[in-house]
Amino acid sequence: MPVGTVASVKGVSQDILEELGVQILLGNTYHLYLRPGVGQVRQLGGLHRFMAWPRAILTDSGGFQVFSLNELRKVTEEGVTFRSHLDGSAHFFSPESAMEAQIGLGADIMMAFDECTEFPADRERARQSMELTLGWAARSKKYFEAHKREVPWATDHIAPGVPTWAGERNLAGGGDDHKIAGQNLAELRSAGQVRTPAPTQTQALFGIVQGGMDPALRRESAERTVEIGFPGYAIGGLSVGEPRAVTREMVEATLPHLPADKPRYLMGVGTPEEIAEYANAGIDMMDCVLPTRAARHGLLFTSQGRLSIKQARFASDQGPLDSNCGCRVCRRYSRAYLRHLYAANEVLAQVLNTVHNLSFYLDTMRSVRHSIALGNRAQLLSGEQSGVKP
């Protein structure tokens, strides 16, 4: 899931994302809450409509950035007080307000409000943090269940004029002649600009497993989160500075305790090698700023390994960036040109580098899906031959 922080995967337009085969992207609730604001996005019909992205979106709860971007913060059982990194204004996030914000944004998948346990943390601290997250998970689910129909694209029949959120009229209420910012809902629908989900369709709220770097706590957190019950589960609190081997250990400690028939999402991971490894291990979804952020620093992933395009040795290299890559960048431009763009600080460097890195990541996942499918097919065939059900 490419990270589209403030409703944009930096430098890459939505049609290029579609062409790359991006199926779902991530929006950061913390950033969108600050700018342009949840109310604004809600009023404009939700995040999909706002950014003209008809495919899937997942929003995080805001919890991580509240911790990572803010030194001055105060955590209580109630929630977290913090200051905007933009202008220093004071804000407060709780499980309830984080749910309200994400419902207003209207992503397909939203995340429970959790505490990303800092690293390192001793067992006592990791347990305390885990307990807080579990309490917050229950509150997240409770608020969500009570308010999930308030999503901007819901088509439930709610009487017009009944305020549902911050005094706003439910956008879908009132039938087809109800106006959204001056435009008739029926017109918008026929223009394909309104998603018309079934009345029972709502967002999916995923729970998040914490527990620090303690396998027993991880297991407990997983079991107790499953007990609360969510349609999908994430493993949070990793890639926070721990050694890679520990990350792997925690994933292995957690996975067996998450239902195999529900999506399993490893947050904030990773390199191309890691995403392939974890996907093969049973992880279904991952997000990471690495492909996009590295691209902006000229660090490009290729089938022959990473390279730093700024290096002088590429200045005369007429070959493609990656001869095994079929993306638009590799089919058209030379390394010499890409190197020049980066050295000249051209915006096109960021655009092309990002397009390639995303293509590389998505290709990697396609390969994993393909080999999983081949493995399944082989298994199926062998089962049929021996008369044993797979």
Active site residues: 60, 287
**Which residue lies nearer to a copy of itself by CB, 69 or 336?**
336
Q: d(Cα 126, Cα 212) in Å, to the nearest integer?
A: 5
Closest CA to 28 of 9, 53, 3: 3
**Contact between 311 and a copy of itself (CB under 8 A)?**
no
Give the closest residue to 240 by CA, choosing from 210, 214, 268. Answer: 268
Question: Is residue 299 a contact partner of residue 306, using CB atoms and an 8 Å limit?
Answer: yes
- 366: which residues sit within 8 A by CB, 6+ positions away? 21
Q: How far apart are CA 4 and CA 7, in angstroms?
A: 5
Cβ–Cβ under 8 Å, residues 153 and 48:
yes
And the tokens for 180? Answer: 């959204």
293 binds a copy of itself (CB under 8 A): no
- Using the rule CB under 8 A, give the single segment among 45-53, 148-156, 357-365, 377-385 that binds a copy of itself: 45-53
User: Does residue 325 touch a copy of itself according to CB under 8 A?
Assistant: no
CB 221 within 8 A of CB 211: yes
84 near a copy of itself (CB under 8 A): no
Residue 314: which H helix or E strand, with range?
Answer: none
Q: Does 265 bind a copy of itself (CB under 8 A)?
A: no
Window of 40-48, 151-159, 160-168, 206-214 that interacts with a copy of itself by CB under 8 A: 40-48
Q: Between 52 and 186, name the residue whose CB sits nearer to a copy of itself.
A: 52
Spatial separation of the C-alpha atoms in residues 42 and 170, rounded to whole Å? 10
Q: Considering the rule CB under 8 A, would residue 289 count as an interface residue with a copy of itself?
A: no
Find the binder of a copy of itself among 132, 289, 336, 368 (CB under 8 A): 336
Stretch that binds a copy of itself, among 138-146, 211-219, 230-238, 337-345 (CB under 8 A): 337-345
Q: 3-state DSSP call for residue 163?
A: strand
Site size toward a copy of itself (CB under 8 A) is 41
Closest separation in Å from C-beta 3 to a copy of itself:
13
Q: Give the binding site for a copy of itself (CB under 8 A).
A: 6-8, 10-15, 35-36, 40, 43-45, 50-52, 180-183, 315-316, 318, 328, 332-334, 336-337, 340-341, 343-344, 346-348, 350-352
